[in-house]
Structure 1
Amino acid sequence: MINVTVTGAGGFIGKNLVDRLQRMKGVSLKQYHHGDDLSLLHEYLNESDIIYHLAGVNRPQNSNAFASVNRGLTESIVNYLKKHHKTPKIIFTSSIQAEGNTPYGLSKKAAEEVLQNYRIETGADVCIYRLPGVFGKWCRPHYNSVVATFCHEISHDKEIEIHDADKKLDLVYIDDVIDSFIDCLDQKKQDKLLYNHINQTFQTTVGELAQKLYEIKNVRESLIIPDLSDKFTKYLYTTYLSYLEMDNLSYALPAHRDERGSLVELIKSQQAGQVFISTSRQGVIRGNHYHHTKVEKFCVIKGEARIKLRKIDSDNQLTYQVTGQNIEIVDIPPGYTHSIENITEEEIIVLFWANEIFDPENPDTISLDVQPNKTDEQKG
């Protein structure tokens, strides 16, 4: 059993770390929160094998709090450990601002020096992370994260202020930070370096960040999902959604209705095409067309249908009879005219995927009936 103490357990990084630690076997966790009595922390220190020292202030009302909290609490921890001959491993969250001369940066640098001296005097293992801007779920807006502030304001239809669109940003994602922190539990994975780094960082500008977030916001209108193969975009998308209010998690989609039934587009992607869904009434036949480049997948999720295909330069016809009771996908290759017919008395529901977004200026859809032919082979 590893005894772990987390200071600043209620903060942004602390909450994400605590969530992970609480789900791990073999970990006994103690949480020290802002406002807790120092005696409680001392009680936890007595039992600790590892201390994640995350507590600190970024924007206090009084600048003296930088020194009293960021350095002062670190000194209090170290002095207590030395007095009682304790040498737990300490993981400390510093900041890249420790390289500068701001009151915040100087206080973080001073805390680092306290821990360096503790390491030299006692031989204890100390690991310092000089983190750049951290973003992800549960980060507080209007505090110390431009990502959190932009996500909150944009998701609440508020204007954001950009003073320098070209200002460079170095960012790390919260899960990458937590992954690295969790590795600290395993001594075999650590080289016992004083300074450690998050392996994956992202570089952007304030203007680029805002542009990406507005594109994400616009998904509800355009239905176009951004390129989630780009990890930074994927993490921004995840982060943005975490700032939506609970009563704003759903949105209506326009339905195109006619005598046949309805069609609703669900998701579009420049990289992966689009997904849409249709309903068809009894006896309705959709399709009777082919594509040159576009390919599709048909999946009946309710009811029963007959899918017919014919290669346009052949008389041979192939029929698949499919049902929502036995989910399967039928691929529609290019150059095959195809149709789908509702053969039940009730409405059917069909899920479609196409490898490209429908372009009304270039639909790549040519009408051609799937005619009765010489050979009618049935599948399904």
Structure 2
Amino acid sequence: MKILITGATGFVGKNLVAQLNNIKAGKAKHPVLGTDLHIIEYKRDSDFSVLEEACKDVDFVFHLAGVNRPIEQSEFMIGNFGFTTALLEKLKENNNNCPIVLASSTQAELDNPYGISKKAGEDAVRSHFSPQERGEKALIYRFPNIFGKWCKPNYNSAVATFCNNIANDLPISVNDPNVEMTLVYIDDVVEELIGALTNEATRNGDFCIVPTVHQLKLGQIVDLLYGFKEQRENLTVPNVTHNAFEKKLYATYLSYLPAEKFSYPLKMNIDQRGSFTEIIRTPERGQFSVNISKPGITKGQHWHHTKNEKFVVVSGKGLIQLRKVGKDENGNDFPVNEFYVSGEKIEVVEMIPGYTHNIINLSETEDMVTFMWANESFDPNRPDTFFEEV
């Protein structure tokens, strides 16, 4: 399949090209597309001959090129309508009736120079095909605001600008936090466009749509972004539920971090036994930490009413012991359950509520490293932790 992508280095184009190249290289699986893809990228600085040659036998066109911020308003019609008609003329000259995806805008409904130029482009694409073909081959998307990685800040995306400025400690300006934003995420856009390529476009009347849409107030988005910035201090993480807006916005925010902020320090609680360092704290999914035990050291020796934990030794060797609290029917201590663990065999040992437990580094020379997950973040006011030797 021979695919022409105009605006290939723009925000949507760059993401689409990257994923098609993943499919072409076999790095991403697709139920229909294989590795036999020929992708022709038409960029702002490409010679027009590239377009002319491609139009001879291209199988599919993604027409993503357009003008958003011209110097003169007349450039809207030149860039959004004029270039579209030039593309369509070249296809007609070669009797090429391949399907065309047109990246339009919700502003095509508005009476402003940009909207008028986008509407003219839509009409041109529709009239390129016969009435019988339009429904199948004129694939017009009126995109709302698109957000995600590689979007240019201070251009035409408030989300990109806010992500960039907050990530880089720059000021932002919010004129009206109650403005309602309708947003689609770039990965959802690319997935939908590739669906259109395989005759699985999502349709709504005369238009195609991205099915997953997010609607929030501008102030809510800003609050989330500042919350992301604070997470390095409070160790929280965003909602990572599939298709959650917060998950997508966080990925976008991270993509604007400068390289010097890719890493950040954690507070290590160090004593003669080793160290204990929290990595993540969440109200819904508990706490994740790393524990380092010095040779011969025993840690733990306590039990919990409700708190439960998972221990995974990833380096070194040790012994984890658990004993049910209290006495059996004969007045004797309950038996001790022992689990020998090491980084050579990764496994989980559960710390059971009502069982006192410990972890012992059996090495005389090496530290033991243990990943620990607890179902709740530690609260010093309600620690639910009671000393008792195993």
Q: Same fold (TM over 0.5)?
A: yes
User: What's the TM-score bracket when you normalise by the shorter of the two chains?
Assistant: over 0.9
Matches within 5 A, 1:1-380: 2-23=1-22, 24=24, 25-120=35-130, 123=133, 125-187=137-199, 194-229=206-241, 231-314=244-327, 315=333, 316-345=335-364, 346-370=366-390
8 Å CA contact 2:192, 2:201 repeated in 1: no
Deviation of residue 102 (structure 1)? 1.9
Q: Secondary structure at the match of 1:40?
A: helix
Shift of 1:121: 6.7
Q: In structure 2, give the amino acid aligned to 1:225.
A: V
Paired residues of 2:193 and 2:201 also in contact (CA < 8 A): no
Q: AA paired with 2:44?
A: H
Give 1:122 deviation, angstroms. 8.6
Counterpart AA for 2:221: L
**Shift in alpha-carbon separation, 1:103–1:335, aligned structure 2, 3 A:** same
Task: Give the alignment's TM-score, normalised by structure 2.
Answer: 0.91
Contact 2:202 2:209 in 1 (8 A): no
Distance 1:264 1:357, change over 3 A: same
Cα deviations across residues 46-87 of structure 1 (Å, max 9, x unaligned)? 121100000001111111111100011011111222233221
For the 8 Å contact 2:202–2:211, the answer to whether it is kept is: no
CA distance in 1, matches of 2:374, 2:49: 63
In structure 2, the partner of 1:374 is none
Cα deviation per residue 1:247-283 (whole Å; 9 max; x = unaligned)?
3211111111111111111111222111111111122
The structure-2 alpha-carbon separation of the partners of 1:335 and 1:369, relative to structure 1 and needing over 3 Å to count, comes to same
Q: Residue 373 of structure 1 corresponds to which residue in structure 2?
A: none
Distance 1:106 1:57 in 2: 12
Q: CA deviation at 1:194?
A: 4.2
Q: Which residue of structure 2 aligns with residue 376 of structure 1?
A: none
What letter matches 2:43 in structure 1? Answer: H
Q: Give the distance between the partners of 2:200 and 2:290, measured in 1 at CA.
A: 51
After superposition, the Cα gap between the structure-2 partners of 1:191 and 1:99, relative to the gap in structure 1 and judged at 3 Å, is closer
> Take 1:207 and 1:323, find their aligned partners in 2: how far apart are those partners?
49
**Match for 1:149: what amino acid?**
T
Shift of 1:193: 6.6
CA separation in 1, counterparts of 2:65 and 2:200?
27
Alpha-carbon distance between aligned partners in 2 of 1:252 and 1:22, rounded to the nearest angstrom: 36
Cα drift, residue 37 of structure 1:
2.4
TM-score where L is the length of structure 1: 0.94
> CA–CA distance in 1 between the matches of 2:308 and 2:163?
36
The amino acid of 2:197's aligned partner reads L
Give the Cα–Cα distance (whole angstroms) in 1 for the partners of residues 244 and 268 of structure 2.
Answer: 32
Residue identity over aligned pairs, in percent, reads: 40
Find the residue that maps to 2:292 and give its secondary structure: strand
Tell me, yes or no, if the aligned pair for 2:319 and 2:360 is still in contact at 8 Å: yes
Deviates more, 1:162-171 or 1:15-24: 15-24
Q: Relative to 1, partners in 2 of residues 1:26 and 1:121: Cα closer, same or farther, differing over 3 Å?
A: same
Any idea what the Cα deviations from partners look like across 1:135-157, whole Å, max 9, x if unmatched? Answer: 11100001111111111000001
* TM-aligned CA deviation for residue 226 of structure 1: 1.5
8 Å CA contact 2:302–2:385 kept in 1: the answer is: yes
Distance 1:232 1:188, change over 3 A: closer
Amino acid at match of 1:12: F
Letter in 2 for 1:6: I
Query: Which residue type is aligned with residue 331 of structure 1?
Result: E
Structure 1 residues 233 and 192: CA distance shift in structure 2, 3 A: closer
Structure 2 gaps, min length 5: 25-34, 328-332
Structure 2 CA distance for aligned equivalents of residues 35 and 221 of structure 1: 44
Runs (5+) with no aligned partner, structure 1: 371-380
User: What is the CA–CA distance in structure 1 between the aligned matches of 2:223 and 2:104, rounded to whole Å?
Assistant: 29
Distance 1:329-1:190 versus aligned 2 partners, 3 A rule: closer
CA shift in 2, pair 1:254/1:296, >3 Å: same
Give the Cα separation in 2 of the matches to 1:190 and 1:155: 35
Q: Deviations over 1:174-204 (max 9, x none)?
A: 0111111111222366779741000101010
